[in-house]
Amino acid sequence: MAKPDPGAQGAGDSRSQPERRATQLDVLRHHPVVLEQQAQRAADVQLRIADWITGFAGSMNFVYIHIALFTVWMLFIESKPWPTLTLIVSLEAIFLSTFVMIGQNRQAVFQQAKADHDFTEQELELKTNTQLTREIRQLTTELYNRLMDGRAR
């Protein structure tokens, strides 16, 4: 199988050679299931939004913003902030836990797809290795028989 020339510029490809090479290396570094998952997430607006929310909610910026907002709320906005603040925090927890479950479900689907792909590849390797072992045995037997026939003469 001929390998494509990494230096050759494709029709309509305006990227520089280092950019194309970096893209090729990224493709080679990732599992095919990872690439498929990334393509699905990039194509679906809802998944991109969910990724952004879970990424932001899992960051220290999220914590700092909440500390600042809750401090301002309790000190300056309401004299008795607890009922409203409790409601807001409870609703936020409901939504964030939903995004966490969405992420866990997607991770489970991803892990299953990767496991299925790996199983298929390992089965193919096993079949290939078994066939090669049989062919080596056959060649070894033929070679042995030729050598022994040559000695007998």
For the entire predicted model, the pTM comes to 0.50
Residue 109 located in a structural domain: yes
Mean pLDDT of 94-110: 85
What is the spatial distance between Cα 103 and Cα 47, in angstroms, rounded to a whole number?
Answer: 9
Residue 92 located in a structural domain: yes
Cβ neighbours of residue 37 under 8 Å, at least 6 residues apart? 110, 113
At residue 25, the pLDDT reads: 55
Residue 37 located in a structural domain: yes
State the total domains in the chain. Answer: 1
For residue range 5-62, list pLDDT tens digits in order: 444 444 455 667 766 666 655 555 777 777 887 788 788 888 888 888 888 888 899 9
> Phi-psi region for residue 11, left (φ > 0), alpha (ψ -120 to 50) or beta?
beta
At residue 4, the pLDDT reads: 46
Residue 49 located in a structural domain: yes
At residue 10, the pLDDT reads: 46
The domain in which residue 112 lies consists of 31-118
Residue 19 located in a structural domain: no
Mean pLDDT of 74-86: 84
